[in-house]
């Protein structure tokens, strides 16, 4: 079993839809959970960052971590065409996880249609 | 804003050529990384560096080397390019201990013919 699993999609939704992106993981030592967004022909950029379990909200974006199920989610409300991108989950351990130990999902390509 | 700049957006090279990919960051980050990104395989770490003149192998270092002579600059070297090294190459940087907010460059799409 891979450490981090992410459905690669692609996912296509109409503008205004609620989008749910998910990752599962197997390493119970993961404590830091991130979502990166990557536009076409660009590098990934950090979108959301959470530590341990719970929810974190930033505008239309909500990151959710369920450590008991080893499952993380990113919700996008009122999705816009500008949200069309590839979304990568990433996670790391505590306390000694260096950047080189960051584990990425393969990414889910999202298209929001006007 | 943090800026990570990769010298080339697109590069076409011939098999057997020596290839240099350059990366510069302007935020005084200690950590620098080279990844490659391939469809269906995701991001894979090639090499990383915690400090000047220091380097560590990542998950797929074979066929690559790196150089970090200055803190802001991290170079990836393909000693003898092969067709299976055709890929998107991404440089990233971060502070030590930020666990682990990476800042990426825009990438270099390398084609080896």
Task: Summarize pLDDT for A43-102 with one digit per residue, the tens.
Answer: 999 999 888 788 999 999 999 999 999 999 999 999 999 999 999 999 987 555 566 678
Note if the bond before A14 is cis, omega within 30 degrees.
no
* Burial of A8 (C-beta count, 10 Å sphere; 0-12/13-18/19+): middle
Chain B contact probe: residue of A99, A105, A107 with most B CBs at under 10 A: A99
| For chain A, percent of residues with pLDDT exceeding 70 | 93
Tell me the CA distances in angstroms from A76 to A66, A87, B2, one per residue in order: 17, 11, 25
CA-angle at B63, arms to B62 and B67, nearest 5°: 100
Do B21 and B36 form a contact (C-beta atoms < 8 A)? no
Instruction: Measure the CA–CA gap between A86 and A74, rounded to whole angstroms.
Output: 12
Q: What phi and psi values does residue B112 have, to the nearest 5 degrees?
A: -110, 120
pLDDT in tens, B11-66: 999 999 999 999 999 989 999 999 999 988 899 999 999 889 889 999 999 999 99
Q: Is B47 helix (H, G, I), strand (E, B) or coil?
A: strand
Phi/psi-derived region of residue A112, left when phi > 0, alpha when psi is between -120 and 50, beta in every other case: beta
pLDDT in tens, B75-109: 999 999 999 999 999 999 988 776 568 899 999 99
Pairwise CB contact (< 8 Å): B99 & A8 = no
| Residue A1 reports pLDDT greater than 80 | no
Token pair 């450590």 is found at: A67
Token pair 């560096």 is found at: B49
Pairwise CB contact (< 8 Å): A46 & B101 = yes
Please provide the DSSP assignment of A3-72 as one string.
Answer: SEEE----EEEETT--EEEEEEE--TTEEEEEEEEE-TTS--EEEEEEESSEEEEETTEEEEEETTTTEE
What token pair was written down for B93? 């940087």
Cβ-based contacts of B94 with chain A (< 8 Å): 99
Cβ-based contacts of B58 with chain A (< 8 Å): 100
What token pair was written down for B32? 């620098």
Tell me whether A9 touches chain B (CB under 8 Å). Answer: no
β-partners of residue B13 are B112
CB pairs under 8 A between A and B: 66
Instruction: Measure the CA–CA gap between A64 and A72, rounded to whole angstroms.
Output: 6
Of A64 and A31, more confident: A64
Cβ-based contacts of A87 with chain B (< 8 Å): none
Closest residue of chain A to B107, computed from CA coordinates: A43
Pairwise CB contact (< 8 Å): A49 & B45 = no
Tell me whether B41 touches chain A (CB under 8 Å). Answer: yes
């Amino acid at each position: 079993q891979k450490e981090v699993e992410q459905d690669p999609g692609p996912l296509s939704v109409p503008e205004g839809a609620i989008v749910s992106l998910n990752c599962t993981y197997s390493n119970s030592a993961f404590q830091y959970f991130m979502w990166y967004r990557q536009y076409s022909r660009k590098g990934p950029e950090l979108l959301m960052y959470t530590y341990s379990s719970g929810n974190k909200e930033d505008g239309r974006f909500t990151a959710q971590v369920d450590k008991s199920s080893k499952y993380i989610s990113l919700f996008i409300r009122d999705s816009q065409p500008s949200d069309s991108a590839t979304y990568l989950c990433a996670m790391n351990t505590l306390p000694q996880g260096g950047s080189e130990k960051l584990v990425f999902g393969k990414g889910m390509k999202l298209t929001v249609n006007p | 804003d943090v800026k990570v700049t990769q010298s080339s957006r697109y590069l076409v090279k011939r098999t057997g050529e020596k290839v240099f990919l350059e990366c510069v960051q302007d935020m005084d980050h200690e950590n620098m990384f080279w990844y490659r990104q391939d469809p269906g395989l995701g991001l894979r770490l090639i090499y990383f560096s915690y400090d000047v003149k220091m380097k560590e192998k990542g998950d797929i270092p074979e066929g690559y080397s790196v150089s970090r002579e200055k803190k802001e600059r991290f170079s990836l070297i393909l000693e003898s390019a092969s067709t299976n090294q055709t890929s998107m190459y991404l440089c990233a940087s971060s502070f030590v201990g930020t666990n682990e907010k990476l800042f990426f460059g825009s990438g270099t799409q390398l084609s080896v013919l």
